[in-house]
Structure 1
Amino acid sequence: MDGDEQLLNGRVYGADHDDPNPGPLPDRTYAELVGGPLDGLLLDIHGWRTDEVDDGAALVTELSRWPGGRALYDPRPGESLKPGPGVACRLYYSGDTP
């Protein structure tokens, strides 16, 4: 694991790099990002409807194939969304886009 990846693990996507507590909050709902440049991060999906989660996410990152581009993450068919706070689902890396 390189230095950039070590900085990201256990963090919430979008948290400031110098935030003293970049981890998840107990009353929020998250998707775990699996694979790709944002592997190990949690995406805050609190308040998202099921169909929004099913659409996946295109997340801006300097770590994608195109710096400043987007890493694409999608759910796997058949995996269910667990209700309530905490990690509700996983989104899997499916590619990059500029």
Structure 2
Amino acid sequence: MNHDANLAFVVRTTDAVEILKWYVLCALEKECMAPAGAQLICKFREDRYTAYAGCHRYDQSAINLLLANAYHYNISNYISRLGKEGVKINRFAADHLTESDFDCTK
């Protein structure tokens, strides 16, 4: 099963750093991120969530495999269940935020 990666919220933990390390290393190797014969077009069958669709989503495929292997294919450990619509992002200016609000060393 391949989950799309249109939003990723990653908390800086030892596990997250380890997974992201391998993700970056994969991105540096063409055969890892874009293996020979990989194609973007998917051919979904009746059960699109458990049957392989013959496609490769490059960065999405890599992160899905890393997460699945790290968490023994238990998606509840790495996929959010936020309802049918998932996450909704409202973009607006926030005048009260400063650069220090985004500092990861707190």
| TM-score (normalizing by structure 2) | 0.21
Name the larger-Rg structure.
2
Q: Higher helix fraction: Structure 1 or Structure 2?
A: 2
- TM-score normalized by structure 1? 0.22
